[in-house]
Structure 1
């Protein structure tokens, strides 16, 4: 009976130990699994945070560059700007002179001689000018020389002074005269027209070289003009003046 009782208590103790053992092992396995799961989750989270697609990385880099450029521009705006060099748009005063003329080239030496010391600084400028030689009254050229001679004969028969033009631009035409003034030329043309003779009035010109004297500074006064006029024996009004023109430089 005592053995049975001892055996019973022994089994009871073994069951209690086994129950405790298996219960502690289950809790230990549960803690190990929980720790491993936490480690895996942390590892996976770190990997996801570091893993990026190439396109996403490029976009991030571009955003970073844009942000840096914006910061740089902001710093430049905040920094004091260098003062701009201001170029004046006011016109530079240009030296102006007065020119008197025109004179015959051979008269220039005489002008400079009478001016004496005032001639220093006076510049002589030679210019080509169109000079009037009066007016030419003609009848238009004919097709042939024979027609022109026939016309000339008819004019002579009417006692109209005329001459045959034998060369040049108006060859085979007839000249009715040369006039120094337009008023006389117009009057004679009207007279011929009343007699049934039609004509053309042509201005005659030629190119001549004329001398001008350029005055500036102390030489640019009325005394110089009056002295030149007296030297040439002409009125001051006969001398043309070009006022306040840019000074020409000597060659």
Structure 2
């Protein structure tokens, strides 16, 4: 009995010393006093987040370091071919001489013969009549010393011309004089064409630079006809002066 009590005492002491190693570890629970956030604190935090600058960089319109920006320089306009037509000349030799006096400008040149209609002359005439009467009247005028001639062909055949005038006033004065001489004269228009010559050549001018206008103004001082326009195809035939 004594040994049984001693053994029980030893077992109890061993359990007291090593009992914690046989029991699972306890989980410590720490209780702290916590409070809910106030509404004012939430609003303040929200405003702070909105005012916080973004960490992402804003796009820049300037080229980045190391990036080469391509700059396209405007090109100068190229000269264009213009056809120049100048006139009028009485013959081809006069046109060639004018081309040499101009310094032989342009790429190629040509001399053109053209029939052009001029302003009609003012014609003082006695209207057509039968051939025998027209001839008798013409002889009477010649005897009286009145300058006249008999028209022998055309739509005014057998009319008697008393003068051709460029000036309207001069023609009217002669008409009044002939009527005072009891002549049945009238005033009519005398159409006329004339063979003239024009100088045509090609030149290179810079468009939209005032060069065309300057050339027109310069040529207008010496020529009655001045035409400058862009060439379409081959406009002239090269001719050696």
What is the TM-score with the length of structure 1 in the denominator? 0.45
Q: Which has the higher helix share?
A: 1
TM-score by length of 2: 0.47
